């Protein structure tokens, strides 16, 4: 009996920082911000916490995704979870955070805060 050769899944690279874009729909201001993994960054009334940010291996087609939690701080200072799931940089509208005042989406994964974004994103 011959053993079937199963191709291994493409290597995914964990990155320590996720880069997001945020839009304030009231002012029209677009902001780019970095959020280290497992750290919460405030964007307006939203708290953005990436849990993991993956890029594909350099020899694979670019694929960037992150698991993200987003909370809203309400006017009465309550914290309400409004997003908990995967975001995909190549499809920002697929799983972006849509809020009456703010939109947030994943742009890239980085190896360090403030690092310039490479085409691969990492």
Tokens of 11: 């290597």
CA 72 to CA 48: how far, in whole Å?
A: 9
Q: Could you tell me if residue 81 is left (phi over 0), alpha (psi between -120 and 50 degrees) or otherwise beta? A: beta
pLDDT score, position 4: 47
pLDDT for position 116: 62
Residue ranges, the chain, pLDDT below 70:
1-10, 116-122
Q: What is the pLDDT of residue 59?
A: 87
Q: Could you report the per-residue pLDDT of 93-117, keeping only the tens digit for each?
A: 887 787 999 999 999 999 987 776 5
pTM over 0.85: no
Helix, strand or coil, per DSSP, at residue 38: coil
State whether residue 90 is helix, strand or coil: coil
Residue with tokens 């020899």: 59
What is the per-residue pLDDT for 38? Answer: 98
Tokens linked to 45: 């009334």
């Amino acid at each position: 009996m011959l053993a079937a050769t199963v191709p291994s899944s493409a290597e995914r690279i964990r990155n320590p920082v996720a880069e997001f874009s945020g839009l304030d729909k009231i002012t029209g201001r677009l902001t780019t911000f970095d959020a280290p993994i497992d750290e919460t960054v405030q964007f307006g009334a939203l708290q953005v916490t990436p849990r993991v940010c993956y890029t594909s291996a350099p020899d694979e087609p670019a694929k960037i995704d992150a698991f993200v939690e987003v909370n809203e701080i309400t006017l009465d200072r309550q914290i309400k979870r409004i997003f908990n799931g995967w975001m995909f940089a190549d499809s920002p509208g697929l799983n972006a955070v849509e809020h009456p005042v703010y939109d947030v989406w994943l742009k890239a994964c980085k190896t360090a805060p403030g690092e310039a974004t490479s085409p691969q994103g990492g």
